[in-house]
Structure 1
């Protein structure tokens, strides 16, 4: 099971609340920086999370599964947690990840590099 730190959970929830507030006011949606990087330690899959929905399961961000077509959108934290890899491994959180650029820049870069 993937466990989010209270600080990460707070930042993800704040981004979700800010995006919903902007949508309600009919303003441009914010372009937040990724808060958490999930990755497959045995493969090319990477997920950059920017938001966590009210249900504490739906995460929004960039999903790059290594097939050359990264997507920005939602995914399930519980489904990510249920992925079992060889050697008893699972999807991990990059403890050293930090980002100073918004998710749109990450998405554009990922699409260019394939």
Structure 2
């Protein structure tokens, strides 16, 4: 798994995802990372790695169909996302969460997509 860290997350982000998973999955963690598909509206707002299966991430998953939901996604599946011209899944390097995941979930359900805009998130904080 360590060889996948540079593409999907920094070492610090990976360690934080692991620590969140070990603290408990019932905690309303602050998201660690936002992954996006540059040629599509799919995105993942990730909070933790399952402590007993380090290939599985937990977070808010938005496949771009208007129904974002909290769920699981495999790191291996994320690594397989690739456009025919070679584009890959991207980590938003500038994303810094300011709210716990529940706020992002409420806003996403209201809008039908993940948002990181404070204007959209504040009413649910």
Following TM superposition, by how much is the alpha carbon of 1:72 offset from its aligned partner in structure 2, in angstroms? 0.2
RMSD: 1.3
TM-score between both structures, scaled by the size of structure 1: 0.86
Deviations 1:29-76 (A, max 9, x none): 210111011000111011011001233210000001111111101110
Matched, 1:80 2:85: no
Q: Distance in 2 between matches of 1:63 and 1:9?
A: 18
1:53 pairs with one of 50, 55, 59: 50
TM-score between both structures, scaled by the size of structure 2: 0.79
- Structure 1: which 5+ residue stretches go unaligned? 21-28
2:23 pairs with one of 15, 18, 25: 18
- Structure 2: which 5+ residue stretches go unaligned? 113-125
Q: Distance in 2 between matches of 1:78 and 1:42?
A: 20
Please state whether the residue corresponding to 2:18 is helix, strand or coil: helix
4+ residue stretches of structure 1 with deviation over 6 A?
Answer: none
1:100 pairs with one of 88, 98, 101: 98
* Higher RCO (CA 8 Å, separation ≥ 6 residues): 1
